[in-house]
């Protein structure tokens, strides 16, 4: 198993399924917006699992479609817990 470095890796490794977050990637000025081409809303990402430095989240597009996003925790600059997070 790979050792993941960084604050986000350390903290999000402890997240529980269903917890929600806003995620800011390294070099980005704002949280991710994955809803669609013209999305003006920050994407609320729901934690699914943490495996080998990759975090799987689900999110809804602007059209209401459920999608998955897999993000390397080492590329996360900041995150904001949105519900009663244990992180």
CB neighbour list of residue 72: distance below 8 Å, 6 or more residues apart: 53, 54, 55
pLDDT in tens, 26-85: 999 999 998 766 777 899 999 999 999 999 999 998 888 999 999 999 999 999 999 877
CB 12, CB 73: distance < 8 Å: yes
Kind and range of the H or E run holding 60:
strand 54-60
Q: Confirm if 85 and 19 have CB atoms less than 8 A apart.
A: yes
The pTM score is: 0.89
Task: Give SS3 for 7.
Answer: helix
pLDDT band of residue 2 (cuts 50, 70, 90) is low
Structure tokens at 67: 């999608």
């Amino acid at each position: 198993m790979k050792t993941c470095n960084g604050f986000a890796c350390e903290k999000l490794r402890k997240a529980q399924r269903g917890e929600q977050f806003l995620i800011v990637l390294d070099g980005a000025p704002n949280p991710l917006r994955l809803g669609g081409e013209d999305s003006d809303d920050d994407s609320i990402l729901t934690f699914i699992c943490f495996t080998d430095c990759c975090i799987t989240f689900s999110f809804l597009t602007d059209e209401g479609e459920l999608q998955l996003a897999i993000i390397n925790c080492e590329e996360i600059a900041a995150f904001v817990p949105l519900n009663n997070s244990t992180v």
